[in-house]
Protein backbone atom coordinates (compact mmCIF):
# COMPACT_ATOMS: atom_id res chain seq x y z
CA UNK A 1 0.00 0.00 0.00
CA UNK A 2 1.37 3.41 -0.91
CA UNK A 3 0.23 6.33 1.15
CA UNK A 4 -0.23 9.88 -0.03
CA UNK A 5 2.86 12.09 0.29
CA UNK A 6 1.19 13.92 3.19
CA UNK A 7 0.91 10.63 5.11
CA UNK A 8 4.67 10.19 5.22
CA UNK A 9 5.07 12.63 8.14
CA UNK A 10 8.38 13.59 6.52
CA UNK A 11 8.44 15.58 3.29
CA UNK A 12 9.28 13.43 0.28
CA UNK A 13 12.86 14.28 -0.72
CA UNK A 14 13.89 15.17 2.84
CA UNK A 15 17.19 13.89 4.18
CA UNK A 16 17.05 11.80 7.35
CA UNK A 17 20.47 10.71 8.54
CA UNK A 18 22.17 9.23 5.47
CA UNK A 19 18.90 8.67 3.59
CA UNK A 20 16.60 10.59 1.23
CA UNK A 21 12.88 9.89 1.54
CA UNK A 22 11.19 8.55 -1.61
CA UNK A 23 7.60 7.62 -0.72
CA UNK A 24 5.40 6.50 2.13
CA UNK A 25 4.80 2.74 2.24
CA UNK A 26 2.48 2.19 5.19
CA UNK A 27 1.32 3.29 8.58
CA UNK A 28 0.79 1.10 11.62
CA UNK A 29 -0.25 1.66 15.19
CA UNK A 30 3.21 2.76 16.28
CA UNK A 31 5.09 3.93 13.21
CA UNK A 32 5.07 5.05 9.61
CA UNK A 33 7.24 3.20 7.09
CA UNK A 34 8.86 5.23 4.31
CA UNK A 35 10.91 4.06 1.34
CA UNK A 36 14.34 5.74 1.40
CA UNK A 37 17.52 5.78 -0.65
CA UNK A 38 20.99 5.69 0.91
CA UNK A 39 22.76 8.89 -0.13
CA UNK A 40 26.14 7.22 -0.75
CA UNK A 41 25.25 3.81 -2.17
CA UNK A 42 21.85 4.46 -3.74
CA UNK A 43 20.47 1.34 -2.02
CA UNK A 44 16.72 1.44 -1.48
CA UNK A 45 15.69 0.64 2.08
CA UNK A 46 12.75 1.26 4.41
CA UNK A 47 12.73 3.78 7.25
CA UNK A 48 10.45 3.14 10.22
CA UNK A 49 9.57 6.41 11.96
CA UNK A 50 7.80 6.57 15.29
CA UNK A 51 4.51 8.35 14.67
CA UNK A 52 4.38 12.02 15.63
CA UNK A 53 0.94 11.83 17.23
CA UNK A 54 2.17 9.35 19.85
CA UNK A 55 3.70 10.83 22.95
CA UNK A 56 3.91 7.68 25.01
CA UNK A 57 7.14 6.78 26.78
CA UNK A 58 6.28 3.07 26.74
CA UNK A 59 5.74 3.10 22.96
CA UNK A 60 9.07 4.84 22.44
CA UNK A 61 10.83 2.29 24.66
CA UNK A 62 9.25 -0.58 22.69
CA UNK A 63 10.38 1.06 19.44
CA UNK A 64 13.95 1.36 20.69
CA UNK A 65 13.84 -2.22 22.00
CA UNK A 66 12.77 -3.39 18.54
CA UNK A 67 15.82 -1.74 16.96
CA UNK A 68 18.12 -3.07 19.68
CA UNK A 69 16.82 -6.61 19.19
CA UNK A 70 17.00 -6.51 15.40
CA UNK A 71 20.43 -4.88 15.31
CA UNK A 72 21.87 -7.82 17.24
CA UNK A 73 20.58 -10.36 14.69
CA UNK A 74 21.99 -11.57 11.40
CA UNK A 75 19.92 -14.37 9.88
CA UNK A 76 18.54 -14.78 6.35
CA UNK A 77 14.98 -15.19 7.70
CA UNK A 78 14.99 -12.18 10.04
CA UNK A 79 14.52 -8.59 8.90
CA UNK A 80 17.87 -6.78 8.84
CA UNK A 81 18.33 -3.27 10.24
CA UNK A 82 21.12 -0.86 9.39
CA UNK A 83 20.90 2.48 11.14
CA UNK A 84 18.94 4.50 13.69
CA UNK A 85 18.54 8.07 14.82
CA UNK A 86 16.14 10.85 15.72
CA UNK A 87 14.26 13.10 13.28
CA UNK A 88 12.24 16.04 14.55
CA UNK A 89 12.29 14.55 18.05
CA UNK A 90 11.09 11.12 16.89
CA UNK A 91 13.04 7.89 16.81
CA UNK A 92 13.59 6.09 13.50
CA UNK A 93 15.50 3.13 12.17
CA UNK A 94 16.33 1.90 8.69
CA UNK A 95 15.78 -1.69 7.63
CA UNK A 96 16.01 -3.72 4.47
CA UNK A 97 13.28 -2.96 1.93
CA UNK A 98 11.44 -6.21 1.49
CA UNK A 99 9.42 -7.00 -1.60
CA UNK A 100 6.78 -9.68 -1.91
CA UNK A 101 3.73 -9.94 0.31
CA UNK A 102 2.84 -10.70 3.88
CA UNK A 103 1.84 -14.27 4.66
CA UNK A 104 -1.89 -13.37 4.78
CA UNK A 105 -1.76 -12.20 1.17
CA UNK A 106 0.40 -15.14 0.10
CA UNK A 107 -2.06 -17.65 1.57
CA UNK A 108 -4.89 -16.02 -0.37
CA UNK A 109 -2.90 -16.36 -3.59
CA UNK A 110 -2.04 -19.97 -2.79
CA UNK A 111 -5.76 -20.86 -2.69
CA UNK A 112 -5.69 -20.85 -6.51
CA UNK A 113 -3.01 -23.57 -6.59
CA UNK A 114 -3.41 -27.35 -6.40
CA UNK A 115 -3.11 -28.70 -2.82
CA UNK A 116 0.29 -30.34 -3.46
CA UNK A 117 1.79 -27.00 -4.57
CA UNK A 118 0.23 -25.19 -1.59
CA UNK A 119 1.80 -27.76 0.72
CA UNK A 120 5.28 -27.21 -0.74
CA UNK A 121 4.99 -23.42 -0.34
CA UNK A 122 3.59 -23.68 3.19
CA UNK A 123 6.30 -26.14 4.22
CA UNK A 124 9.03 -23.78 2.95
CA UNK A 125 7.57 -20.80 4.86
CA UNK A 126 7.12 -22.82 8.05
CA UNK A 127 10.70 -24.08 7.81
CA UNK A 128 12.04 -20.54 7.36
CA UNK A 129 9.99 -19.21 10.28
CA UNK A 130 11.05 -22.12 12.51
CA UNK A 131 14.70 -21.47 11.67
CA UNK A 132 14.28 -17.75 12.43
CA UNK A 133 12.59 -18.50 15.75
CA UNK A 134 15.25 -21.04 16.74
CA UNK A 135 17.93 -18.45 15.94
CA UNK A 136 16.34 -15.66 18.00
CA UNK A 137 15.50 -17.99 20.90
CA UNK A 138 19.16 -19.13 21.04
CA UNK A 139 19.96 -15.46 21.67
CA UNK A 140 17.46 -15.14 24.50
CA UNK A 141 14.82 -13.22 22.53
CA UNK A 142 11.11 -13.99 22.36
CA UNK A 143 9.19 -12.38 19.45
CA UNK A 144 5.73 -12.51 21.14
CA UNK A 145 3.79 -11.46 18.04
CA UNK A 146 4.00 -14.21 15.42
CA UNK A 147 1.15 -13.48 13.01
CA UNK A 148 0.81 -13.83 9.23
CA UNK A 149 1.08 -10.04 8.99
CA UNK A 150 4.52 -10.15 10.62
CA UNK A 151 5.94 -12.65 8.14
CA UNK A 152 6.95 -11.42 4.69
CA UNK A 153 7.17 -13.91 1.84
CA UNK A 154 9.70 -12.46 -0.59
CA UNK A 155 9.37 -12.69 -4.37
CA UNK A 156 11.92 -15.52 -4.22
CA UNK A 157 9.70 -17.45 -1.78
CA UNK A 158 11.79 -16.99 1.37
CA UNK A 159 10.04 -16.01 4.59
CA UNK A 160 11.32 -13.12 6.71
CA UNK A 161 10.25 -12.55 10.30
CA UNK A 162 9.49 -8.87 10.96
CA UNK A 163 7.99 -6.52 13.53
CA UNK A 164 9.80 -7.08 16.79
CA UNK A 165 7.76 -4.31 18.48
CA UNK A 166 6.83 -6.42 21.52
CA UNK A 167 10.01 -8.51 21.67
CA UNK A 168 11.13 -9.80 25.05
CA UNK A 169 14.82 -9.07 25.53
CA UNK A 170 17.15 -11.22 27.65
CA UNK A 171 17.42 -10.24 31.31
Residues noted as catalytic: 145
What's 13's DSSP letter?
T
DSSP states of 34-69: EEEEETTT--EEEEEEE-TT---HHHHHHHHHHHHH
DSSP states of 90-156: EEEEEEE---SEEHHHHHHHHTTS-HHHHHHHHHHHHHHHHHHHHHHHHTT-B-----GGGEEE-TT
Contact in structure between 20 and 39 (CB atoms under 8 Å): yes
Amino acid sequence: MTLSPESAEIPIGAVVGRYRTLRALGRGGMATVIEVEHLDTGEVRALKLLRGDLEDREVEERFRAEFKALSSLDHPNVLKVFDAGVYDGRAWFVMERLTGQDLREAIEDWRQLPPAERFVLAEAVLTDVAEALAYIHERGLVHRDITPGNIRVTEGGAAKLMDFGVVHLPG
